[in-house]
Amino acid sequence: MVTPVSHLDVKVVMVAAVSSGQGKTTCTAALARKLVKLGKRVRVFKCGPDFIDPMLLERASGAPVHTLDLWMVGPDLCRSQLAHAALEADVILIEGVMGLYDGTPSSADVARTFGVPVLAVIDASAMAQTAGAIVMGLRDYGAVNMAGVIANRVASANHGKMVAASLRGVPLFATMPRQQASLPERHLGLVVPGEIHNLDTVLDQLADQLQFDQAAWETLAPVRIELPAAAPSALPKPLQGATIAIARDAAFTFLYPANLDQLRALGATLTYFSPLADEPVPAAASAVYLPGGYPELHAPTLSRAAQWRNSIRAAHAAGMPIVAECGGMMALADTLTDQQGAAWPMAGLLPGAVTMQARLAGLGPQGLPTPDGILRGHTFHYSTLSTPVTPVAHTIKHPSAIEGEAWYRVGALTASYFHAYYPSNPAAAAALFMRRQG
């Protein structure tokens, strides 16, 4: 008789830092690609809500990157995702969010919850021995297991030796030299991978430049990942027979892979189309999903896409459910004013005007009250919407519990700056794509 395996022991590390801007994503991507080149099976997670970093890390590792967040995703689903990754991976990397202790919950909370050691990325460009003080502070402030350090933007081998000597026994796993050119960024973060020329060459170069102490890495103790005792029970399939048409191109790129998995698990068939290419809503569609992205960078093209605009208007007039998140909502307003001040006509399903601004207009985890309970997610946008439409609801900010984003309904269209994470409430997610009765 074969005894079922109850756990797996896998190398897992949380790649974290004292703050944003230290080079976490670059170092995580370089480490992932380095390990892949060494023949390891690598899976990467992103701690906290994010769309762009996971796309880059997917290219670096060769596997989809999912979200670990104790509030939005929840401990049970986080644990399940780690277990699934452990079945497929030799190494699991988790890129933290902001600073190690920033946020509620924080990257440190995730590390402690799942017993994951921390690999600290330190920007050493303007310091040497003080790196040790920062690492000791990160370790001792919240009693995390500090496994090692990546010293980023190191000027020379001697500089790296000074950093290593300051760490008081914490291993220096790797150093990364100062980069001639960093990964490009814009107002929502890094530029999406499809826009970076020769991205795989860049990732290979980063991996080659990462001076990696493989012997030190091999001493890293594995983490015990508990496997589910039984297969999860089958979900109801309220979207069985539905075909959801999803906008997917350079203007509509911000999609959680877990949302797509959830819609399929609910029974839906997914199909894709490109408003930027002036493709109409597919004829087979019974609902439309317009995710976030960068419509402001493509406003002239969207304004000229007559076939796309006519088709989405026809779908709306026919009562087809349309779910528009952030950038998707922006593309359905009357006008979109870009960062240069030019106003462009959009599809006009949501009366009002969207205007880009220089400062962040919304950021953070939020939950939407629904008849099926709270649907969790987040918001992150640099534009504002001026509309005469009265919201039918507002999200609730976490953890402050104050009013968040407006949630609009115009006919069968629901629209908001809020990005929902569908696995947090499958029933509420399914309801978005079902025709309302009456």
**In this predicted structure, which of 190-199, 268-277, 286-295 has the lowest mean pLDDT?**
190-199
Please report, rounded to a whole number, the percentage of residues in the chain having pLDDT higher than 90: 85
d(CA 234, CA 239): 14
Are domains 8-226 and 243-432 of this chain identical in fold?
yes
Stretch 119-129: mean pLDDT = 95
pLDDT above 50 (res 1) = no
pLDDT above 50 (res 77) = yes
Considering only the top CATH level, what class is 243-432?
Answer: alpha beta
Confidence of residue 358 (pLDDT cuts 50, 70, 90): confident
- Among residues 27, 47, 78, 326, the one annotated as catalytic is 326
| Residue 16: per-residue pLDDT | 97
pLDDT above 60 (res 438) = no
Contact 46, 149 (CB under 8 A): no
Which helix (H) or strand (E) segment holds residue 204: the answer is helix 199-209
Mean pLDDT of the chain: 92
Residue, of 78 and 194, whose pLDDT is higher:
78
pLDDT above 80 (res 212) = yes
Confidence of residue 125 (pLDDT cuts 50, 70, 90): very high
- Strands 393-397 vs 403-410: parallel, antiparallel or unpaired: antiparallel
User: Nearest Cα to 178, choosing from 160, 196, 166?
Assistant: 160
pLDDT above 60 (res 185) = no
| Residue 198: per-residue pLDDT | 80
Q: What separation in angstroms does the CA of 150 have from each of 94, 315, 333, 433?
A: 14, 52, 45, 45
Confidence of residue 52 (pLDDT cuts 50, 70, 90): confident
- Strands 373-381 vs 146-154: parallel, antiparallel or unpaired: unpaired
Considering only the top CATH level, what class is 8-226?
Answer: alpha beta
| Range among 54-58, 231-235, 347-351 rated most confident | 347-351
- Mind listing the pLDDT tens digit for each residue in 372-431? 999 999 999 999 999 999 999 999 999 999 999 999 999 999 999 999 999 999 999 999
pLDDT above 60 (res 190) = no
Q: Enumerate residues 6+ apart whose C-beta is below 8 A from 109.
A: 70
Structure tokens at 316: 């709306």
Confidence of residue 245 (pLDDT cuts 50, 70, 90): very high
User: Nearest Cα to 198, choosing from 25, 26, 59, 63?
Assistant: 59
Q: What is the distance between the terminal CA atoms of the chain, rounded to a whole angstrom?
A: 57
Please report, rounded to a whole number, the percentage of residues in the chain having pLDDT higher than 70: 93
Domain ranges of the chain: 8-226, 243-432
d(CA 51, CA 189): 9
d(CA 326, CA 392): 17
pLDDT above 50 (res 28) = yes
| Residue 51: per-residue pLDDT | 87
- Report helix, strand and coil shares of the chain as percent, to nearest 5: 30, 30, 40
Stretch 61-87: mean pLDDT = 95
326 is catalytic: yes
Radius of gyration of the chain (CA): 23
Confidence of residue 193 (pLDDT cuts 50, 70, 90): low
| Range among 4-13, 213-222, 407-416 rated most confident | 407-416
d(CA 152, CA 121): 7
pLDDT above 60 (res 184) = no
Stretch 67-80: mean pLDDT = 96
Which 3 state secondary structure label does DSSP give 54?
helix
Give burial (CB, 10 Å; 0-12/13-18/19+) of 4. exposed
**In this predicted structure, which of 52-56, 134-138, 340-344, 370-374 has the lowest mean pLDDT?**
52-56
- Mind listing the pLDDT tens digit for each residue in 157-168? 999 999 999 999
pLDDT above 70 (res 361) = yes
| Residue 273: per-residue pLDDT | 98
pLDDT above 60 (res 437) = yes
